Amino acid sequence: MAVGPAIQRGVQQLRRCFGDAALYLEETKAVGGEAAAFCFALPPDYLGIKRRLRIGFPTAFPYLPLDFSITPSPRVDWPHCMEGGLCLYTDGEQPVTSTPEAAVDEAIEKAFALIRFSLAEADQGRRDAEFSREIRSYWMMQQAVTPYRLTLVGVPACSGPLYVVSDRSDLQRRNFRYVAASSYEEISSFEQRFDRRVLSQRSTAQAGFFARLSSSPPPRLPAADFIPWLIPHMVEEDVPAFMRWTKDSVDLASRWLVVSLPVEGLAIHTFHLRSSEIDRRRARVYGRRSTRRASIQASNRSYAAEFTPTDVMDPIVIHHRAGPGVQALMGKRTVLVGAGSLGGETAVLLARSGVGHLTLVDADRFEDVNIGRHVLGTQALGEIKVQALRARILRDVPSVSVTAIPCPVQAGGAALKSELERADVVIVTTANWPSEEYLWSLKSAGANWSLIHAWSEPHGFVGHALVAPSGSYDARRLFDRGRFTSRFSNWPNNGVYALPACGASYIPGAPVALSRIAGMTAQLALATLMGQPANPRWHSTVGNLDQLFKYGGSYEGPGLPEGAHFLEREMPWPEAMV
C-alpha cells in the first residue's frame, strides 16, 4: 500500500525520535485502518519480562494519533496500559494534529514517559502512585459488569451496613435498579420525591456495606478470597463491623460492597457479590420484608465480585462540577414568587446550582400556550405550575427540597409567612403589579431577606432586575401603575397583547431571550446568597436591538459597544425616583 506524504514525514520523524536506536526499529505488517507499523524490542521490565512495543500509523494520520501496543500485554502489570494498549491521553486532552512531526514528537514523548514507570530500574513508589490514581479503571478491566444499577442515597458519614430495596419492587424481576442508604428513613425520603407510596419497614435486608479504605488495594483483583484481599486496606476501626456484616449477610444471593477510595474528594467503586448459583440476568427483588424471602437466599456461598455502576445522590457529587461555592449554598433558602417562563427557569437554575431549599408561590395553571417557552412540558398540562415544577425539580435534582404554595402571594397566609421568615432571598418575576407591590411593602417595613424584582420588557430584548439587600428598601416609586419609569423600550399598547377573555392578556417574549434574563436573575440570586450587596442595585440586560426595531418598538436605553450583540450592566437605582 502506497503511503502519502504525511505518513512518510511521520515515519521520518519517528526514526529521528529513536536516534541511534532507530536501527532496531523493525517495520511490520500494517493491520486494518493502518498505513504503516513498526516494532521495537524493549528492555526487561520490573517483572523481568521482555516485551515488544508496536507503533501503528493510522491512514488518517496526523488527524488520528499513533497507536501504541505492548506484547505480551502488561495489562494490570503496567500503569496506563489498558485493553487497547497504552493510554496516552487523560480525559479532556486532545492529541496534536498540526503537523506530522509535531504529532509524532508528542506521542513518543508521552509513550516513553509511561514505559519508564515499568522498567527494571523504575521507582516502585511512583509506579504504585500511578496505579492508585486510576485504580477503578484497572479493576473494571477485570470485572464483569452487572446489568444492575445501584442508587446510593447520600454519602454515609461512616462505614456500616446499607439497607437495600428494589427501586421499583412493583416491576418485580424486570427491574434491575436498587436503592441503598444507611437508614431506611433515607430510602423513604428519596422515594417520596417521586410521589411513590412509602411502605413501612418490616424486615428490610441490609444487603450492602459502605467501607472506607485507608489505602488503595492492588490493581490486580484476586481470583478468589476477595474479602481477605480487601480487609488490609480498610480503616482498622471499621473491620469488626464489616466482618459482622459479611457473616450476617452470607446467605443473601446478591450483596453490594461500596468502597470509598482514599483520594481527595469522593471516589467510590461498587462490587456486586453474586452467588455463583443464580443467573446474573435475573433481578433479585429486595422489598421491605426481604430477609423473610427464600427467593433472595443462596445455599452456595461461592461469590463472584462483579462491578455495579452506582449513582450517588448527594450534593457533594451532584454539584461537584459547579465549583467550590456550592457548599455555602446548600443551607440557603429562596422564595420564588411567580412560576411562569422567567420564574420557572430561574427556579431550575438555582436548584441545579445547589441552593438547598426553594419555595415556589403561584396560583396559575400550566396551559398549552405556555409550552413553547416554559421549562415544563406536556405532562404538566392542566396542573398548577408550582406543583408541577416542584415535582420536576424533586425528580431531577435530588439535593434540593422544594415547597409549593399554590396561591397568590398576597393570600399565602401562615405557610408563606413561615417561609419568608426563614428566607435568605425572595425573587418576584410575576409581571403582576399587585404581587410586586405587596412584596415591596413588606420590604419597606424592614424585612431581613433580600429582594430581587426581575422582569422582561416586551419581546425579551430588554430585561431588568432590582436588587434590595436586607433591611428597609422601597422601589415602588420607580413604577407608574406597574410600568418601570426608566424602561429602555416603548411599544404600541405598552407591548401588551389582549386575549378574548375578561382582563386576560400577555407580554410576548421568545424563549431564548427569556433564558438570558433568567440567567441574569439566577446569577444575581446566587451572588446575593453568597454575600449581601452593600447597596440597592439595578441590573439590565440588552440584546438583538436590530430585531427590536423590526418588531415595531423604539429604544431609549444604552447603546451596545461596537461588535457587541448583548450588554449587561449594573447601576444604582435611578436616583431621581428614589
In the chain the domains, ranked by start, together with CATH numbers, are: 5-133 (3.10.110.10), 140-313 (no CATH), 321-577 (3.40.50.720)
What are the residues whose beta carbons fall under 8 Å from the beta carbon of 403, sequence distance 6 or more?
357, 358, 359, 360, 390, 415, 419
| Alpha-carbon torsion (269, 275, 277, 281), positive or negative | negative
What are the residues whose beta carbons fall under 8 Å from the beta carbon of 423, sequence distance 6 or more?
333, 334, 335, 359, 449
What are the residues whose beta carbons fall under 8 Å from the beta carbon of 458, sequence distance 6 or more?
489, 491, 494, 495, 496, 507, 508, 509, 553
Whether the bond into 72 is cis, omega within 30 of 0: yes
User: What pLDDT score does 146 carry?
Assistant: 87
- Rounded to whole angstroms, how far apart are CA atoms 27 and 17? 16
Phi/psi-derived region of residue 449, left when phi > 0, alpha when psi is between -120 and 50, beta in every other case:
beta
User: What pLDDT score does 6 carry?
Assistant: 94
CB atoms within 10 A of CB 545: 20
Whole-model pTM?
0.84
User: What pLDDT score does 40 carry?
Assistant: 97
CA distances from 426 to 181, 417, 450 (A): 34, 12, 6
What does DSSP say about strands 149-153 and 177-181: parallel, antiparallel, or unpaired?
parallel
Amino acid at 502: C
**b or e along 346-361 (b: 16 or more beta carbons within 10 Å of the residue's beta carbon)?**
bbbbbbbbbbbbbbbb
Written as nine digits, the cell of 260 is: 470509598
Q: To which residue does cell 410586586 refer?
A: 436
Burial class (CB in 10 A: 0-12, 13-18, 19+), 345: buried
Q: Where are the beta strands (DSSP E) in 310-449?
A: 310-313, 333-337, 357-361, 401-405, 425-428
Largest CA distance in the chain: 91
CA nearest to 279, candidates 300, 256, 251, 263: 300
User: What pLDDT score does 97 carry?
Assistant: 80
CA nearest to 176, candidates 149, 144, 151, 152: 149
- Rounded to whole angstroms, how far apart are CA atoms 414 and 148? 46
**Residues in the chain where the model's pLDDT stays below 50:** 292, 294-296, 298-300, 576-578
User: What pLDDT score does 264 carry?
Assistant: 83
What are the residues whose beta carbons fall under 8 Å from the beta carbon of 517, sequence distance 6 or more?
342, 454, 456, 460, 463, 541
Written as nine digits, the cell of 100 is: 506530522
